[in-house]
Structure 1
Amino acid sequence: MPLWLNADLGEGVGVDEAVMPHIHLANIACGFHAGDQLAMQQTLALAAQHGVTVGAHPSYQDREGFGRRSMPHTATEIAALLHYQIAALDGMARSRGMSIDYVKPHGALYNDMMADEKVRRAVMDAVASFYRPLRLMLLATPEAALHRREAAQAGIDLWFEAFADRGYGDNGLLLPRSVMGAVHGPEQTLAQVAQLKREGSVTTLGGRKLILAPDTLCVHGDNPDSVALIRRIRELVEQ
């Protein structure tokens, strides 16, 4: 698989029509942190128009906090949470003659999955117990071999992602947005993308080089300037 670009869409905060022609994978919000049935329908139509692969982008039930607040759940509750959202998008996609290929958790659920083995196991088991096979997208870190073993035990395949515009800590996790250097400007973003393409690595805030070897890069298109940057990233990864 080439270094594909993925973006979180259908959230009502971006410029999806302008972003869609420049990405390969669309992570579509399923209504719990953002979006609704009309947004899902419109985003699916855009993806079909541009030949973009689609995946479910489920979250904790937290519209007020845009899915950015951690919420304790049992494994059974996480499975129900995910199946409800994935099934909604899956059904809407099938009604259009489309299918979803993967799941990428959103916000706090994504961060909790990466930081807590129990949450990650619950997410993997939930994806594995869906009625048909789906891949799970998760953060590419130095722990990728462990995550592959966990996924194999659950019986699912993974796509690893890196972030084009986010800073990394020495532990391989994204820096909290409250930390200076957590979000890159355009030129630093392009430099990080070039390094990922050339070496499969990022340089952390502390100056450490981490080999991540991602399958896909997450890009953010929430304003016209960011769309222009996505176009430049697409050109860079396809050179």
Structure 2
Amino acid sequence: MYEPKSTTWPKAGVPSEALAEPSAAPLRVLLAEDTPISAEVMLAMTRYLSIRMDHAANGLDAIAMLQEAASEGKPYSLLLLDVNMPILDGVETARRLRADGIGPDELPIIAVTAATDLEEVRAYRAAGMQAYLEKPVGLEDLRATLKAWGHRTRSRSARSRTAAMEALKGQFADRKIRTIASIEGAIERDTIDEELVMELRTLLHQLAGTAGSFGDPELGEVAREQEAALLEAFFADADVRPVLKAAQRALKAKV
């Protein structure tokens, strides 16, 4: 995780000196995350910590939910914002919220991302985010973040968390099988159109975003590399079939 040079850009589990003590009142957290299984992992962890968290599938949905909650007098107190999302990504979502006058005192925004190079971190800060959580997000990092940004946590039974995580592991195993099967099916087709390429890109993107949470960061990196190669070939108007065959081999080697 990024070690801050000053308190103006803290890592997510370190509070700013300006933050108040954690409130005893139940506060509302919103997660914007496009990958369903990644969202379920985060939701399972917040349920374990007895924190209320809602989920938006993209930046536009997050903005709408924030606006609706504010109009009802029940505003969200923290936004966990996935950086890489379709429709409206995290950086642009944060920019729009800050441009609308929603300041960090009203709504702290924490980037959730695997992209933590210095220039990327600077972009998050420039967009109006206060810190970041590095993917894959672990329970203790999430607990520290919630506590640092004013949210009291308490743990439920370990048994309930274990059962939830086992179910999610099953979903992840199915996702790996489905991704490889979809790539194999595409290779066998006579034509591979844009819609199919984008479907395969989404599957690779979702696999890349979740593998680390299930103890397989190498698989996540392979999926991320293959996603980039597929898009590069597609936008260069090249034949994507060799790329898909390479992706098939690479993923099978890691499964």
Q: Normalised by the size of structure 2, how large is the TM-score?
A: 0.33
Greater share of helix? 2
Greater share of strand? 1
**Whose Rg is larger?**
2
